[in-house]
Amino acid sequence: MAEISWPWQYNFPPFFTIQPHSETRAKQLEAWQQLIAEYMKASKQSTIDIRESQNSPLFHNASINRKLSSEALLTILEDMAKTGRAAPVDKSKNIWEVYWHSLDEWGSMIYNWASSNGLNNSVCTLFELQEGDNTVGEEFHGLDMNILIKALKTLEVKGKCELMEFDDSQGVKFF
């Protein structure tokens, strides 16, 4: 995992308790959202399981003996969902996808890569996009398959690609 720089708030005990004052809370929620996005990007993770969150160094600062409660994390993730930076995977809201880029931004990155590599009007598998030799070095290389598909669906709505299934795999045709 790539190193991240912990913000000063991470070593400030009140950061781990949702603050009651509205302005302070807004700043705290934004700081947590930035930290979560940076951590997820650095660790190439895309999901958070609230039930297991306390095992993560992201939500448990052992040096100051503080943990973010599950309820506080849910508050932060629900706030992230309002801006399209996260979405619950299950109805009980225990597992969340976190987007360090919006789905539109992921879609644009993929489309720009496809266009610059002359892949318009050709088909490639989703595996090629996710794990292929041609995408090594691209930020979307290794992206979670569910997020990859959602990003491609944003392009499909704009008429820039078509998702397709053939045999036992999925592919995409870029326009």
**Model pLDDT, residue 162:** 94
Q: Do residues 93 and 108 share a domain? A: no
For the chain, give the percent of residues with pLDDT over 90. Answer: 78
The pLDDT of residue 2 is above 60: no
Q: Looking at 54, 81, 98, which one is the last position of a domain?
A: 98
For the chain, give the percent of residues with pLDDT over 70. Answer: 99
Q: Do residues 88 and 115 share a domain? A: no
Give the pLDDT confidence of 45-89 residue by residue, as tens digits.
899 999 999 889 999 999 999 999 999 999 999 999 998 899 999
In whole angstroms, what is the distance from residue 7 CA to residue 55 CA?
20
Q: Do residues 94 and 122 share a domain? A: no
Give the pLDDT confidence of 155-171 residue by residue, as tens digits.
999 999 999 987 788 89
Mean pLDDT for the stretch of residues 125-134: 91
Q: Do residues 130 and 55 share a domain? A: no
- List Cβ neighbours of 95 (8 Å cut-off, separation of 6 or more): 47, 48, 49, 50, 88, 89
In whole angstroms, what is the distance from residue 98 CA to residue 78 CA?
11
**Model pLDDT, residue 26:** 95
In whole angstroms, what is the distance from residue 140 CA to residue 124 CA?
15
The pLDDT of residue 129 is above 70: yes
| pTM strictly above 0.85 | no
Which residues constitute the domain of residue 30? 8-98
